[in-house]
Chain A
Amino acid sequence: MPAESNTETGEVATPAGDGTGETGTPVPDTESIDDEGFVIGSGRSGVVRQLGHDDFDPVGTLVLIAIYMVIVGAMWIFMYFVEFLGGDLTVIG
C-alpha cells in the first residue's frame, strides 16, 4: 500500500493525528482510518478495529477442530472395538 499521507519522513502516522485519549492510548477514528496513510515499514499505531471478547469468531478453526475430533473419535472406536476387541485370541486370564 503506498504511503500517501503528508506526514514527514520518519514520522509515524496515527489514524487520528492527535487522537489520543486521556490515558494516552490511541482512540480509533473509524472515519479517518482509510484516509490516513503510514510510513512504509511501520505499522499503524492506532487501534484499527475494536473487537469485543466474544466478537472474535474463528469459525474456520472451530470447524477444523471439530473435524479433527471426529477423526480421532472414529479412529479410536475402530481401533479399540473393531481391531482390538474383534481380534483373535484375546487374553482372558
Chain B
Amino acid sequence: MEIHRYEKIWLAGALLLIVGFIATVSYGAVGAGIEMINDEGGQVDSTALDEHPKFSEPGTYKTGPNEYDVYVIAKQFLYEPGTSEPIRVPANSRVTFHVTSADVIHGYEIVGTNANTMAVPGQVSTMTVEFNEPRKYGLLCNEYCGSAHHAMEGSIQVVPQSEWNETMVVN
C-alpha cells in the first residue's frame, strides 16, 4: 500500500500525541507520585456505622508526628464532620481521609483541588493529601444524591500549627 507522504506525517504526529499522553500520565504516577483512589480502604457495614471503631465517632485522629486520619461520613445531605462544623487539621500535615456513605452514593470533593473521591455506602475511600498553608477549603458533593444535593457542602479548616491543640483531634 502506498501512503502519501503527508499522510505519513500526520499519522506519525497522531502516534506521537498518543505516546505523549501515555508518557505524561506514566510520569504523573511514577515521577510526580500521583495516586489513584482504590479499594484499599476496605468495606464497612453502612447500616452499623455507629458500631465502627472510628466511624462511630468521625473526625480527626492523630496517627503520627504531623500525620492524621480524618473519618468522614457522607449522608443526605451533609458531611459528618464538615457541614455543621468544619473538619479541622493542622497546617504542614499529612492527612488521610477515610470517607464512606451512610445511605446513597455521594461525592467528596475539596473544592478547587485535585482531592476528590466518591463516598460509596459499604465502601471506605481513602486518600492522602498534604496540607501546607493555613486556610479554609470548601467541600461539596458532586454525585447527585437527592433533592437537596445542591445544598450538600461543608468545609475544612487548616489550623496554624501554633493554634492546634489536642482538643481539635476528634471533632
Contacts and interface: CB of A to CB of B under 8 A. Distances in A.
Contacts of B130: 89, 92
Interface stretch (A1-9, A23-31, A34-42, A68-76): A68-76
Main secondary structure of the interface of A (DSSP, over half): helix
Interface in A46-93: 53-54, 56, 58, 61-62, 65-66, 69, 72-73, 76, 80-81, 84-85, 87-93
B115 A91 contact: yes
Contacts of A90: 32, 34, 113-115, 129
B33 A61 contact: no
Main secondary structure of the interface of B (DSSP, over half): mixed
Contacts of B4: 53-54, 56
Interface in B110-169: 110, 112-115, 126-131, 137
Interface residues on A, range: 20 to 34
A89 B114 CA distance: 6
A91 B13 contact: no
A88 B113 contact: yes
Given A62-B6, A69-B13, A92 B113 contact: no
7 contacts: A58-B6, A84-B114, A87-B114, A91-B115, A91-B127, A91-B128, A92-B129
Interface of B: 2, 4-6, 9-10, 13, 17, 20-21, 24-25, 28, 32-37, 96, 110, 112-115, 126-131, 137
Q: Which 5 pairs show the lowest CB-CB distances between chains A and B? A: A93-B128, A89-B113, A89-B115, A88-B113, A89-B129
